[in-house]
Amino acid sequence: MLKVYGIKNCDTVKKALVALDKTKLDYEFIDFKKEKPTKELILKWKDFMKDWPVNTRGPTYRKIKEDFEKATDTKKIALLIEASSAIKRPLIEKNGKPKIAGFDEEAIKKLKA
């Protein structure tokens, strides 16, 4: 089973959901606006991405950028939990393991294998 984390009204997430629907893969969508990300989730994706899972081009990140860059790891996690729109999206997991960060139609097709 796939889990897709993101924000329902995000264009990138919408494209990913359409691509998932085309592949007829079952998934559970977790909306960061309704369910805040956890410390464990953020750290899992940080390990997968080899960096903080942030969307550095997004307006939410730009608002917290100065604080985020100066922050300790603990504070960075707290900032991302509170400003979850700053997290790169979608984040797609298969069987609890991170697989895709951001929209990648080819990678989504490969999830079916």
3-class SS of residue 47: helix
> 4, 7, 10, 80: which one is catalytic?
10
Spatial distance between the Cα atoms of 74 and 71, rounded to a whole number of angstroms: 8
> How many Å apart are CA 57 and CA 4, to the nearest integer?
21
In the residue annotation, 43 being an active-site residue is answered as no
**Catalytic residue numbers, as ranges:** 10
